[in-house]
Amino acid sequence: MSCNFNVSIPENIAVSELVEKGKEAFAKMEGEFNGDENKGEFFLDSPFGKISGEYFIDGKNMKVEIAEKPMMLPCSLIENEFKKYLNG
Residue 55, amino acid:
Y
2 has a pLDDT exceeding 90 = no
pLDDT tens-place string over residues 14-27: 999 989 988 998 99
| CA angle (29, 14, 4) in 5-degree steps | 55
Give CA–CA dist 31/26, Å, rounded.
Answer: 5
Give CA–CA dist 33/11, Å, rounded.
Answer: 22
* Domain locations in the chain as residue ranges: 3-87
Is pTM beyond 0.85? Reply is yes
Query: Helix (H, G, I), strand (E, B), or coil: what is residue 3?
Result: strand
**pLDDT score, position 65:** 96
* Homologous superfamily of the 3-87 domain (CATH): Kinase associated domain 1, KA1 (3.30.310.80)
pLDDT tens-place string over residues 30-84: 999 999 999 999 999 988 899 999 999 999 999 999 999 999 899 999 899 888 8
